[in-house]
Amino acid sequence: MMIAQLRLIEMMSPHSYIAVRKVLGAGSGQESPGFNGLLRVAPDLGAAMQGVLKRAGTDALTVHREPTKYPLLYQLTECVLDFDELFQTFRYQHIMLVKRIIGAGTPSLKGKPTELLERSMRTPFYPDLWEVRETMFADFVRGESLTKK
């Protein structure tokens, strides 16, 4: 929902935003309790998912190689990946909003540069789940699925 709603704020002209910025003080999205809450629980969610996989005697790569054998575990890993993807999507949309309204080079009201946002956007919560794809396609041989039993 928030990703869709950001689009509305993105439509604000730089000219209109000057009036908003004048009264914002030195607040920052970095102080958002909701955002920081998500940052806090994300590692716990990853650990809980790894625990479930471990207790089932498997791992994310195996589950992805045979999704029909592990339907629930597959769903679990995909839901966790959804969370990661949506969080990164929010960050990306927010950077585009920042660039569009105040420009990439303008420091925030806390004096922090936008580059900080670019760096954190490239850091997923669960790199293992993204790497599963690379591993699977590194092994991929063209035409193999047609000939293999």
Q: Which residues bind ligand HEM (CB under 6 A)?
A: 2, 6, 9, 17, 28-30, 32, 35, 94, 97-98, 101-102, 108, 110, 112, 114, 116-117, 120
Of the pair 30, 50, the CB lying nearest ligand HEM is at 30
Q: How far is the CB of 2 from ligand HEM (least distance, A)?
A: 6
DSSP track, 115-147: HHHHHHHT--S-HHHHHHHHHHHHS--TTHHHH
The residue type of 133 is R
Of the pair 117, 129, the CB lying nearest ligand HEM is at 117
Q: How far is the CB of 90 from ligand HEM (least distance, A)?
A: 8
Give the C-alpha separation, 68 to 84, whole Å: 23
Q: How far is the CB of 34 from ligand HEM (least distance, A)?
A: 8
Q: How far is the CB of 133 from ligand HEM (least distance, A)?
A: 24
Do residues 125 and 48 make contact, with C-beta atoms less than 8 angstroms apart? Answer: no
Do residues 126 and 57 make contact, with C-beta atoms less than 8 angstroms apart? Answer: no
Give the C-alpha separation, 132 to 137, whole Å: 9
Nearest to 120 by CA among 35, 49, 60: 35
Do residues 114 and 28 make contact, with C-beta atoms less than 8 angstroms apart? Answer: no
Do residues 93 and 138 make contact, with C-beta atoms less than 8 angstroms apart? Answer: no
Q: Closest CB to ligand HEM belongs to which residue? A: 29
Of the pair 96, 136, the CB lying nearest ligand HEM is at 96
Of the pair 42, 97, the CB lying nearest ligand HEM is at 97
Of the pair 65, 100, the CB lying nearest ligand HEM is at 100
Q: How far is the CB of 145 from ligand HEM (least distance, A)?
A: 40
